Amino acid sequence: MGSETERRIPVINFNEENLKPGSDSWVSSCKHVRHAMEEYGCFEIVCDDFLLELHNSIFAAAKDLFDLPVETKNQKISDRPGSLGYVAERPWSPRYESTGFDSPETLQGAEYFTNLMWPQGNNTFRETVQSISKRLVEMSQTVMKMVAESYGVESVFDSIRESAFYTLRFFKYRTRRLNESDVGLAAHCDTSFLSILHQHQVEGLQIKTKDGQWIDVKPSPSSFVVLAGYTLMAWSNDRVLACEHKVTIKEERTRYSVGLFSHIKGVIHVPEEMVDEEHPLGYTPIDSLGFHAFRLSEEGLKIIASICFAA
């Protein structure tokens, strides 16, 4: 399984024209999104109006956050089952460190996490995370709407949007120590409905295609990678497969990235429009957060490791 650097995942421009619901460009963007999701389980969004200033501020915020003492980062962040909190130096990903919190697009969510990390307050951090999260939530909802419309189930979009909630996570990959490999994060799929990742300068994210090739995703200040997670895979009755991805870092520089993960509260039902002779119903109703919590449990991690990380 080699790496084909010249291949790219589909790129879709999220400019004002393409985002006007009902317009010809909107309809054609919906088709592109469905095609990208079915063929790759992912695509790259290019947002020409995404401010370089916000890109720079979110990664300055990431650095400030990871520079905090471990005891500060390690505090309990949430009571939600399946909430990940702070993660560092796992045996299978010793260079990876990450942390995150729920509802980052709301003042309450952003303030809660900021005050936990900086009891004396840190307005710059709070404003930056809230403002990028609002933008990422908007992107995520646009993709959900496009996916629903492209399958002719726009009527269920409102219920997906209403039951969705969001988690923002920051990632840091320290430089390699003697005899360490270039692995930043092993191959896996996310449990989310959608994940939106944004990288900073040091490349590393790789996406696996249906034919088993790994494609590098190049970082750019105005591009975002949307990945389908297991929840979207179940909701779409396997029309969209969860996107397998990993992080491989060739450069000898610290890598930072940030991601917004959308999750669905409650039970996910496959819409009946997704079921036909070619796509027989593959899922009973699933408690998506229950699945998420299981996957992050000791037992779930063992099972997933034996399926996903074996190859």
Ligand X SMILES: O=C(O)CCC(=O)C(=O)O
Tokens of 184: 């930043």
For ligand X, the nearest residue by Cβ is: 257
Residue closest to 232 by CA, chosen among 136, 153, 121:
153
Residue closest to 102 by CA, chosen among 164, 28, 46, 147:
164
Shortest separation between residue 283's beta carbon and ligand X, angstroms = 22
Which one of Fe ion, ligand X, none is in contact with 247 (Cβ closer than 5 to 8 A by kind)? ligand X
Query: Which segment (13-21, 119-127, 197-205, 285-293) binds ligand X by CB under 6 A?
Result: 197-205
Strand partners, 214: 3, 208
The residue type of 54 is: L
Q: Which is nearer to ligand X, 90 or 265 (CB)?
A: 90
Shortest separation between residue 199's beta carbon and ligand X, angstroms = 6
Q: Does 171 bind ligand X (CB under 6 A)?
A: yes
Query: Which of 160, 185, 241, 243 is close enough to bind ligand X by CB under 6 A?
Result: 185
Q: Does 190 bind ligand X (CB under 6 A)?
A: yes
Per residue in 121-153, is it b (16+ CB within 10 Å) or e — as a string? Answer: ebeebbebbbbbbebbbebbbbbbbbbbbbbeb
Strand partners, 183: 248
Q: Does 30 bind ligand X (CB under 6 A)?
A: no
Measure Cα distances from 124 to 56, 143, 261 in Å. 12, 29, 22
Q: Which is nearer to ligand X, 260 or 274 (CB)?
A: 260
Tokens of 85: 């909190």
For Fe ion, the nearest residue by Cβ is: 190
Shortest separation between residue 188's beta carbon and Fe ion, angstroms = 6
Shortest separation between residue 271's beta carbon and ligand X, angstroms = 27
Q: Which is nearer to ligand X, 25 or 220 (CB)?
A: 220
Binding mask 254-293 for ligand X (x = CB under 6 A): ---x-x----------------------------------
Which one of ligand X, Fe ion, none is in contact with 148 (Cβ closer than 5 to 8 A by kind)? none
Q: Which is nearer to ligand X, 259 or 271 (CB)?
A: 259
Q: What are phi and psi of 265, to 5 degrees?
A: -80, 145
Site for ligand X in 91-150 (CB under 6 A): 98
Tell me if 275 sits within 8 A of 223, measured CB to CB. Answer: no
What is the size of the binding site for ligand X (CB under 6 A)? 11
DSSP letter for each residue of 18-83: TTSTTSHHHHHHHHHHHHHHHHHSEEEEE-TTS-HHHHHHHHHHHHHHHTS-HHHHTS----STT-
Q: Does 207 bind ligand X (CB under 6 A)?
A: no
Q: Does 249 bind ligand X (CB under 6 A)?
A: no
Measure Cα distances from 137 to 129, 131, 203, 205 in Å. 12, 10, 24, 21
Which spans of this chain sit near Fe ion (rule: CB under 5 A)? 190
Shortest separation between residue 15's beta carbon and Fe ion, angstroms = 27
C-alpha dihedral, 220 to 26 to 189 to 191, nearest 10°: 120
Binding site for ligand X (CB under 6 A): 98, 171, 185, 190, 197, 199, 205, 245, 247, 257, 259
